[in-house]
Amino acid sequence: MGLLTALEGAYGDAADALRIDGYAMSREQLLGAATAVADRVAGAPALAVLARPTAETVAAVVGGLLAGVPVVPLPPDSGPKEREHILRDSGATLLAGGAAEEGLEPVPVELTARSGSSYAEPAPERTAFVLYTSGTTGAPKGALIPRSAVAAGLDGLADAWQWTAEDTLAHGLPLFHVHGLVLGVLGALRTGSRLVHTGRPTPEAYAAARGSLYFGVPTVWSRIANDAESAAALHSARLLVSGSAPLPVPVFERLVALTGQAPIERYGMTESLITVSTRADGERRPGSVGLPLDGVRTRLVGEDGAPVPHDGETVGELQVAGPTLFAGYLHRPDANAEAWTADGWFRTGDVAVIGPDGFHRIVGRASVDLIKSGGYRIGAGEVEAALRDHPAVADAAVVGAPDTDLGQAVVAYVIADGPVTGDQLTAFVAERLSVHKRPRRVVLVDELPRNAMGKVLKKQLLDLA
């Protein structure tokens, strides 16, 4: 069985099995165009793809996978320095979707092309993607994602979400991340579900997609929750999936009220793909990312290396093991040594709590979301959730700013949606959480800095703090 099983025997399928930003194509048409790309790239060390939300991007990615050539998605908005680093570090010699560049041969992608070639399925351990991390602590690192990890991750999600060929998957996410590309495109090509990529992820576009399964990041869901008419059109959907950042509880509750559907959350990283998720047939608990996928193991570890109890309260670093993990960082033996424990577990760098029932709640990144204040360990996510419960708060981000007395002080950056003061918000949090978790300072802002996937860039907030 190949990686993209829905392309096997695709002949005679629906003419609009895939619709990418308004362009409709059958899986047979995609296979023909992708095989023509494979003819051009076979044997190359790596294929870079300028990953715009287009049918040409999908054909180029699939062509690289058919030929067994590692695919390197390039964010279309990447700056010259980041782009140069990715191309040089990955060893790509070919570029699809972009103009000719020095040292790179352009690969044309023609959606009407056909090829009679056939390619044997590459070995499972072969690299499918070189996905570059955000590079918040230096130059982006290239994570080597094996074909076997992609297959295991998608099969685990198909089981957890009851995702089948009867579904229509709809989303408008970028095609250079795990969420939009691996889940949002390859997932449809493995399960056989219909795919509607909306181009831009607007509420109106999601409403018009008529999907049974929707993917979105919290920013997308927040906008839909503020558009009652568009949200009502999602009432017939089977599953609303949120990921890439925590979904605020007020947005969760408003989606339930407007769509009749409680959204599900899942957790993953570039290096691990998706490892934990709420199940379609299980409890959908606000603020929780659910249970490990089949074959995935998780554990919490304290700063001393000792196991942390699964009591729903104690915070620890989340470590994972299982078949969805990456094979290591390209050209980075130092980073590989730091990423893995001696007994073979991947250090996610995220902090979490696990309840007695196994449900996981992600607190945030250990580097910016685990605040050590006055001898206490405080999860930023818990304080953020409490702030968002205030009716005058649209969103909030919490960081630990250096403090000569406390070590770190809890500082909150808040987007207000009504009249409120910092003192009122501090008191509001102190009434709901332990007093030591209250913000020592509240800064009202018009917006929070975010990346392309909607994650708050907390290092920028730390610089401000």
273-325 pLDDT, tens per residue?
999 999 999 999 998 999 999 999 999 999 888 999 999 888 899 999 999 99
Which single residue is written with the structure tokens 């929750």? 225
Residue range 146-174: average pLDDT? Answer: 97
Position 355 scores a pLDDT of 95
191, 218, 247: which is the final residue of a domain? 191
Which single residue is written with the structure tokens 């909306």? 198
Q: Let me know the angle formed at the C-alpha of 274 by 349 and 454, rounded to the nearest 5 degrees.
A: 70
Q: Please indicate, yes or no, if residue 243 is contained in any of the structural domains.
A: no
Residue range 37-41: average pLDDT? Answer: 98
Q: Please indicate, yes or no, if residue 203 is contained in any of the structural domains.
A: no
**Edge to edge, what strands does the sheet with 297-301 contain?**
297-301, 316-321, 346-354, 360-365
Who's near 152: CB < 8 A, 6+ residues apart?
Answer: 295, 322, 323, 324
Burial class (CB in 10 A: 0-12, 13-18, 19+), 198: buried
Q: Residue 182: is its pLDDT beyond 80?
A: yes
Q: Please indicate, yes or no, if residue 378 is contained in any of the structural domains.
A: yes
Position 1 scores a pLDDT of 61
Read off the pLDDT band of 363 (50, 70, 90): confident
Q: Let me know the angle formed at the C-alpha of 73 by 222 and 55, rounded to the nearest 5 degrees.
A: 75
137, 158, 191: which is the final residue of a domain? 191
Q: How many residues does the chain have?
A: 465
**Proportion of the chain above pLDDT 90, given as a percent:** 74
- Please choose, from the candidates 396, 398, 439, the residue with its C-alpha nearest in 3D space to the C-alpha of residue 416: 396
Read off the pLDDT band of 453 (50, 70, 90): low
**What domain range includes position 123?**
5-191
Name the helix (H) or strand (E) containing 398.
strand 393-403
Q: Please indicate, yes or no, if residue 298 is contained in any of the structural domains.
A: no
Alpha-carbon Rg for the chain, nearest whole angstrom, is 22
95-143 pLDDT, tens per residue?
999 776 777 999 999 999 999 899 999 999 999 999 998 654 567 899 9
Q: Please indicate, yes or no, if residue 305 is contained in any of the structural domains.
A: no
- Please choose, from the candidates 53, 69, 7, 13, the residue with its C-alpha nearest in 3D space to the C-alpha of residue 32: 7
Q: Please indicate, yes or no, if residue 182 is contained in any of the structural domains.
A: yes
**CATH number of domain containing 53:** 3.40.50.12780
Q: What total of structural domains would you count in the chain?
A: 2
141, 163, 191: which is the final residue of a domain? 191
**CATH number of domain containing 386:** 3.30.300.30
| Alpha helix (H) residue ranges in 168-290 | 187-191, 203-209, 218-225, 228-232, 249-259
